[in-house]
Amino acid sequence: MSEIGQRIHELRTERVPRLTQHELAERAGVSVDVVQKLEQGRKASARIRTLSAIAAALDVDLSSLLSKPTHLETLPVDGGLLALRRALTPVVDEPGEQGDPEDLRAQLGEAWSAYWSGDYDLLSAFLPGIIGSSRGLPSKDLLAEACQIAACTLVHLGHSDLSLVAVAQALAVVEEPLLRAALIGTQSWVLLNQARAADATVIAIREADEMEPRRRAPKAAISMWGNLLVTAATAAARSGDDEEAQDLLQVAHGAAVRLGEDRNDYQTAFGVSQVVMQRVDVAVVAGDYVRALDVARDMPVDSGLPLAARARHQTDLAHAHVALAHASEAERILLNIERMAPRWMRYQVFPRTVVGELLSSHRPTTAVKSLARRLGVE
């Protein structure tokens, strides 16, 4: 029995009045076959909306159904990190139902939505089932994408070593060339989070050179190429090479203008908005806060950046304002980040650091003190 299936069985049989599988399925508006397969371990997971319906039928919230706490380190030994590690590094093939490709695509879509919303704790419980169900499929791109989401999630949860294992798994099986480019971008970002900026720069530039699109290339190819350039620029800046970062961003800007729109191919954002965001980030890394705020004015009003990317960009701006002693503007931005992306914010070191800077560098307001308490900042 899978962890989720076991939890459903416990909640169904221990409640008063006890529910049969058929009664639970009827209350949730799902097939009884789904409930049976989950409880029997023949189905490791299901779509988030299906699990949400089952949770509602059991009179619990989704977090209770998934048995997930706030941080991955506190998950039970038979779930969370361990389940994800087992899914990523199977020693033997365990019996189970092969996933339906269309259903798995829908699950991956929901997983990406959870990721961009910062719901990493939900993903830690949700991803093992998707990974396991994807392994038996003839096409391995769904497995590669599931491993990619796992890699991204694990970075935010503080497990970058296992994140490298996940992205290596994805690269070992990926078939679609543009998905491979997205995975190289993810690998570069993981290395950057391991303080290996030089390695991150090299692999992103190498892949960008190999896939540089021709004049009539599809927009998706231009987008993936541009994203690799932006990724390389970010890494170069953190290596202390601001000149290289600026050169790469200039080429990326040309690609973004060529596209004429913000895109999100293979869950990889690229366009003028992404280039502006990284120009701001590079300026912040260089300590040129006036330049950062000046560049930020170029951000399109109708930016197509995902929620997590917008929150990260706003954190850069808050950091620049703190450095320039613009305390009230920094406070306004930080409170806005909390309103628009509270789940993202609680996992991120950077915004907590900026709040700490605001506390120590200026006379903090009551609102800043309250925000610091909510984020656990001393």
pLDDT at residue 257 above 90?
yes
Residues of the chain with CATH 1.10.260.40: 1-67
**What would the mean pLDDT of 255-260 be, rounded to a whole number?**
94
How does pLDDT run across 63-97, given as a tens digit for each residue? 566 644 334 444 333 346 778 888 888 876 554 55
Of the pLDDT bands very low, low, confident and very high (cuts 50, 70, 90), residue 11 is confident
How does pLDDT run across 121-169, given as a tens digit for each residue? 778 778 888 898 898 888 899 999 999 999 999 988 888 889 999 999 9
| pLDDT at residue 158, rounded to an integer | 80
| pLDDT at residue 72, rounded to an integer | 40
The full length of the chain comes to 378
Q: Which is higher by pLDDT, 46 or 66?
A: 46
pLDDT at residue 53 above 60?
yes
Joined tokens for residue 174? 């990926």
**What would the mean pLDDT of 111-126 be, rounded to a whole number?**
85
What is the DSSP track for 153-189? HHHHTT-HHHHHHHHHHHHHH---HHHHHHHHHHHHH
The dihedrals phi and psi of 138, each to the nearest 5 degrees, come to -60, -45
Q: Which residue(s) pair with 108 in the sheet? A: none
The reported pTM is 0.79
C-alpha span between 59 and 61 (Å, rounded)? 7
| pLDDT at residue 277, rounded to an integer | 96
Angle at which helix 349-361 crosses helix 366-375, to 10 degrees, equals 140
C-alpha span between 43 and 96 (Å, rounded)? 7
Least confident of 10-19, 41-50, 116-125, 256-265: 41-50
Least confident of 104-113, 306-315, 353-362: 353-362
| pLDDT at residue 78, rounded to an integer | 37
Residue pair 344/315 in contact (Cβ under 8 Å)? The answer is no
The class that CATH gives domain 1-67 is: mainly alpha
How does pLDDT run across 12-29, given as a tens digit for each residue? 888 778 889 998 999 889
Residue 126's H or E segment, with its range, is helix 120-134
pLDDT at residue 222 above 60?
yes
Residue pair 372/356 in contact (Cβ under 8 Å)? The answer is yes
